[in-house]
Amino acid sequence: MAAGLTLKQAKIGGFFEVDVNTEADAKLVSALVRGVSILRCFGHKRTELSARELMELTGLPKPTLFRLTDTLCELGLLRYSERLSKYVPGLGLLQLSSPVLTRMALRQFARPQMQALADLTEGQVQMSVGHRRRLCPVELANGMGNTVYRQEVGVSISLSRTATGRAYLLGMAEDDRQAYLRDLQARDPQRADWLAQRLVDAQGDLARHGFCRSHGDLHSEIESIAVPMSQPQDGELWVFAASVPVFSPLSTKLETELGPRLRTLVRSVESVLGM
């Protein structure tokens, strides 16, 4: 984000846009957006960042950055580690995530069945939720024999390169999905064309087998399938996925074994919700 940012269209990490109409609103939103831009620099692959790195990532001038980091540290959302001489996410962020997870009672219904399927397949079963263009897992079950791939709750999921992401895109309203594809076409035409074909394949799989598959596009050593719930819940779309290593016997039995078991799990959860 450049220092001279105009907030009529401000993008933070590609996640959202801000559109303001009055000067007063612009001042308020500007401070909030810039503070959030600092927090969004951190992720599961970037857990500690220096002031210089934050300036490079956000484009914020040094005085503004230090004023905002001081405020975030005071609120407990950020912490400066003397040992590392870097900033790290604060425990306040973890506390903020608690009410989000707590309100998702669906996790409690599904957790036992997810664990049973994960143990049976010696893989991982994920429950993810998406809103607009943001998608992340909110519940995970790892089988005792799963030593290959362990996703983390809250880590953003690729909408284009995963079975879960493509199942989510197909569950979007047509206008929203086309808008996403147009934006991707403007940024990366080759990837947009590739994704368009993958969505055709995913739609065919969903019609024939009731699930989308990953094709190893993100993790070549993993076979994954995903089943979306038939209806959004309170404006959020839920997707269940099962992942097994490519050397697992189940990786060659997606249509006959793993797929039907995952579909049964999803339909069972839906029945509890009265869907």
Question: Across all residues in the chain, what is the average pLDDT?
Answer: 87
Topology of the domain comprising 104-272: Beta-Lactamase (3.30.450)
Q: What is the pLDDT of residues 239-264, one digit of tens each?
A: 999 999 988 899 999 999 999 999 99
- Distance of CA 32 to CAs 3, 10, 28, 37, 147, Å? 15, 12, 7, 9, 41
Banded pLDDT at 23 (limits 50, 70, 90)? very low
Q: How far is the C-alpha of 169 from the C-alpha of 176, rounded, in Å?
A: 9
Average pLDDT over residues 60-76: 95
> Two tokens at 266?
């999803």
7-94 CATH, one of 1.10.10.10, 1.20.1540.10, 1.10.10.60, 2.60.40.1260: 1.10.10.10
Q: What is the b/e burial string over 97-113, where b = at least 16 CB atoms within 10 angstroms of the residue's CB?
A: eeeeeeebebbeebeeb
pLDDT at residue 150 tops 70? no
User: Could you tell me the residue ranges of all domains in the chain?
Assistant: 7-94, 104-272
- Whole-number percent of the chain with pLDDT over 90: 66
Q: How far is the C-alpha of 249 from the C-alpha of 102, rounded, in Å?
A: 36
Asked, colleague to colleague, whether 7-94 and 104-272 share their fold, the answer is no
Q: Which residues contact 101 (CB under 8 A, 6 or more apart)?
A: 107, 138, 153
CB 217 within 8 A of CB 102: no
Choice among 29-33, 46-50, 77-81 with the minimum mean pLDDT = 29-33
Q: Is the pTM of this model over 0.85?
A: no
> Two tokens at 116?
């049973």
